[in-house]
């Protein structure tokens, strides 16, 4: 189930799903903050967070922030798994610190998914934007951890260097 607020991205995914004849695909257009209203307790086994905005200035907007994890815990099965695949060193560093501080079991941590030997079949799938980042020389990071509790979650209090390539406007990013 793909979840997004932007209809254009949903249309692109729906069109690709239809073209490939996929029958196990669905889309939900909503604010991510509302996600717990659409699933019952224990209904979801895994959550994939792929290439989200790192929200470098707004901790509570990061999709791996503790407020989101508490929300995911409302519908994730016990011992449910969270996957984060990102081109953002900032978000990856933040998530690693948050996972470590809250003692979530890490099942896999990779600092360059496309350097894995042998390649992982799921992690080697490249999105349109992922391919652009790779062509610019950026590595893709991945972490998979178990959300084994949502009580007393703590945000890391660390300084993280912002992603330099995010400081440009979208039109200027193509010139990097």
Q: Hey, which residues are catalytic here?
A: 53
Output the six-digit token pair for 7: 């209809």
3-state secondary structure of 1: coil
Burial status of residue 14 (CB atoms within 10 A of its CB: 0-12, 13-18, 19 or more):
middle
Distance (Å) of CA 168 to CA 80, 132, 157, 171: 36, 15, 26, 8
């Amino acid at each position: 189930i793909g979840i997004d607020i932007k209809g254009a991205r949903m249309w692109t995914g729906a069109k690709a799903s239809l073209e490939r004849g996929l029958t196990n695909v669905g889309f939900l257009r909503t604010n991510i903050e509302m996600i717990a209203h659409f699933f019952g307790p224990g209904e979801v086994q895994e959550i994939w967070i792929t290439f989200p905005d790192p929200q470098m200035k707004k901790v509570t907007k990061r999709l791996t922030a503790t407020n989101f994890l508490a929300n995911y815990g409302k519908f994730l099965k016990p011992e449910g798994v969270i996957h984060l695949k990102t081109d953002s060193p900032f978000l990856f560093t933040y998530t690693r610190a948050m996972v470590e501080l809250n003692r979530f079991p890490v099942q896999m941590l990779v600092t360059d998914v496309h350097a894995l030997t042998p390649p992982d079949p799921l992690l080697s799938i490249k999105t349109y934007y992922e391919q652009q980042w790779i062509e610019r020389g950026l590595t893709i990071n991945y972490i998979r951890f178990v959300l084994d509790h949502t009580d007393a979650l703590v945000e890391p209090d660390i300084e993280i260097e912002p992603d330099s390539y995010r400081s440009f406007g979208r039109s200027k990013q193509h010139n990097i």
